[in-house]
């Protein structure tokens, strides 16, 4: 093949690769130009998703109907070998080639005499292969043609890697947009949630200043002001916790000591009696007096139990039941908060531990909250080398289970 012709076809192919066409169009044009130039009738590009046993024909000169076809790599040992060795596979005469023993008959019936496969890759990432099946009348590729095909497969890798990075960029962009949207909703939720106790504090403070109230009424007003300011304090603390987590401060600030999970559960359940009573919810403790040793930060563990319990009560129906179970197994202690409330749709389950995520959004929201509670729960549990799991079905209820390594007091025992 004259050098001039080779340079000319390379120039044409690199020109195609630089055009602002779609990836599919570029690959198709490249295959057509290459196949016509070296005069082979079967030339394709297949893409191979990472670790996949199948490939997809993304461009082909053989038959346009093949495009989009999924091929089983087990039936193409030459492609499999090129993937495994990350190198060019060239078979000058297919008859008698041990690699092709199983497919010999098929190749023969198609009149194929030689094969050429070159991997398309960028650094270590393999995208696919350039794949030529050469029929009798054309013989096998000359060394110049083979090196031309190798150069073309290198050029094509640029098309694949651009597409790959573009897809990654688009995915990241989509994720950033989603997070930014959640953040905007969070800001609007948090201001709304802060305004409610704030108006209540303002209202009761004004009333007790303006009106001459009897001492017991005055006391009631102050108690409401205190309760509402505690609610605000909790919310502000949650916001501060988020920033602590993103600065890695929460981990540094943990003060771990030997605790008894049973006592911590008892203490938190007591705190939630009043809010459960308000909705006529019964809280059933399904654990005994047995000590469940745990080494943890007491305030943070109470925060975990509290956030889960507050959700269980919030998302339960009037008159519902919330169960609290706990136990010890294989040097681990665990507890579950079980409710029979509204449950969580399966499509939302993967996201509920994300910062700012709430199942109901916008104006349709029926429950107060900023979507931060579970995020903090997961972070705290993981900082204690534990895990949190959830099972839920809409209309039936949810079970949140926290498992933590048992404390030192458990050493030697079960
Ligand atoms: N027990 C539950 N039953 C039904 N849905 C739940 C339950 N727990 C959590 N969810 C869903 O998961 C979402 C995230 O929970 P999370 O505790 O993080 O936020 P929140 O309760 O809405 O607000 P916050 O805890 O910040 O006050 C909730 O908004 C709710 O949609
Ligand atoms: Mg919550």
**DSSP codes joined into one string, 8-56:** HHHHHHHHHHHSS--HHHHHHHHHHHHHHHHT-SEEEEEE--TT-SEEE
Tell me, yes or no, if the pTM score tops 0.85: no
Kindly indicate the confidence band of residue 414, based on its pLDDT and cuts at 50, 70 and 90.
very low
Question: Which ligand places an atom closest to the C-alpha of 398?
Answer: 1
Nearest one of 321, 296, 289, 249 to 403, comparing CA atoms: 296
Pocket of ligand 1 (CB under 6 A): 307, 311-312, 315, 339, 341-344, 352, 357-359, 369-375, 398
* pLDDT beyond 60 at 147: yes
Q: Which atom of ligand 1 is nearest to the CA of 400?
A: 1
Centre of ligand 1 from the C-alpha of residue 195, in Å: 20
* pLDDT beyond 60 at 262: yes
Structure confidence at residue 18 (pLDDT) = 87
* pLDDT beyond 60 at 412: no
* pLDDT beyond 80 at 364: no
Mutate to test the pocket of ligand 1, among 358, 360, 375 (most ligand atoms within 8 A of CB): 358
Centre of ligand 2 from the C-alpha of residue 369, in Å: 6
Task: Write the residue with the smallest CA distance to atom 21 of ligand 1.
Answer: 369
Q: What is the mean pLDDT of residues 328-350?
A: 95
Centre of ligand 2 from the C-alpha of residue 255, in Å: 24
Q: Which pLDDT tens digit goes with each residue over 197-244?
A: 999 999 999 988 888 888 888 899 999 999 899 989 988 998 899 989
Q: What is the mean pLDDT of residues 294-309?
A: 96
Mean pLDDT of all residues belonging to the chain:
90
Kindly indicate the confidence band of residue 138, based on its pLDDT and cuts at 50, 70 and 90.
low
Structure confidence at residue 411 (pLDDT) = 56
Q: What is the mean pLDDT of residues 330-340?
A: 95
Q: Which pLDDT tens digit goes with each residue over 106-123?
A: 888 888 889 999 999 988
Structure confidence at residue 272 (pLDDT) = 94
Task: Write the residue with the smallest CA distance to atom 1 of ligand 1.
Answer: 312
Mutate to test the pocket of ligand 1, among 187, 369, 389, 394 (most ligand atoms within 8 A of CB): 369
Residue 331 is given by DSSP the state: T
Helix, strand, coil distribution of the chain in percent, nearest 5: 55, 20, 25
Mutate to test the pocket of ligand 1, among 188, 303, 368, 373 (most ligand atoms within 8 A of CB): 373
Find all residues with CB under 8 Å of 232, minimum gap 6, and list them. Answer: 194, 197, 198, 201
Centre of ligand 2 from the C-alpha of residue 168, in Å: 33
Structure confidence at residue 295 (pLDDT) = 95
């Amino acid at each position: 093949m004259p050098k001039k012709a080779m340079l000319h076809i390379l120039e044409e192919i690199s020109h195609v690769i630089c055009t602002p066409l779609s990836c599919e169009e570029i690959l198709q044009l490249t295959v057509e130009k290459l196949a016509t130039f070296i005069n082979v009738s079967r030339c394709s590009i297949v893409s191979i998703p990472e670790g996949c046993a199948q490939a997809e024909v993304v461009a082909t000169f053989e038959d346009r109907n093949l495009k989009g076809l999924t091929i089983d790599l087990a039936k193409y040992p030459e492609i499999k070998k090129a993937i495994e060795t990350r190198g060019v596979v060239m078979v000058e005469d297919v008859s008698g080639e041990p690699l092709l023993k199983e497919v010999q008959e098929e190749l023969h019936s198609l009149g194929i005499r030689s094969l050429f496969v070159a991997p398309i890759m960028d650094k270590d990432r393999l995208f696919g292969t350039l794949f030529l099946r050469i029929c009798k009348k054309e013989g096998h590729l000359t060394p110049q043609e083979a090196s031309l095909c190798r150069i073309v497969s290198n050029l094509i890798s640029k098309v694949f890697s651009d597409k790959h990075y573009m897809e990654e960029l688009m995915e990241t962009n989509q994720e950033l947009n989603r997070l930014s949207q959640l953040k905007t909703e969070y800001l609007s939720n948090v201001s709304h949630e802060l305004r409610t106790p704030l108006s209540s504090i303002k209202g009761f403070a004004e009333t007790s200043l303006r009106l001459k109230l009897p001492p017991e009424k005055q006391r009631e007003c102050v108690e409401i002001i205190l309760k509402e300011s505690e609610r605000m304090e909790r919310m502000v603390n949650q916001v501060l916790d988020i920033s602590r987590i993103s600065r890695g401060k929460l981990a540094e600030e943990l003060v771990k000591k030997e605790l008894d999970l049973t006592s911590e559960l008892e203490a938190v359940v007591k705190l939630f009696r009043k809010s459960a009573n308000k909705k006529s919810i019964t809280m059933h403790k399904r654990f005994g007096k047995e000590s469940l040793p745990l080494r943890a930060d007491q305030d943070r563990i109470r925060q975990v139990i509290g956030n889960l319990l507050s959700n269980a009560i919030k998302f339960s129906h009037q008159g519902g039941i919330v169960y609290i179970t706990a136990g010890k197994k294989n040097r681990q202690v665990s507890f579950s908060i079980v409710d029979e409330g509204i449950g969580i749709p399966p499509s939302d389950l993967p996201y509920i531990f994300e910062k700012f995520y709430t199942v109901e959004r916008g104006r349709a929201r029926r429950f107060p909250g900023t979507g931060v509670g579970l995020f903090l729960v997961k972070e705290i549990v993981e900082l204690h080398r534990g895990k949190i799991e959830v099972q839920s079905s809409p209309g039936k209820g949810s079970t949140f289970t926290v498992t933590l390594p048992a404390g030192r007091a458990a050493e030697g025992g079960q």
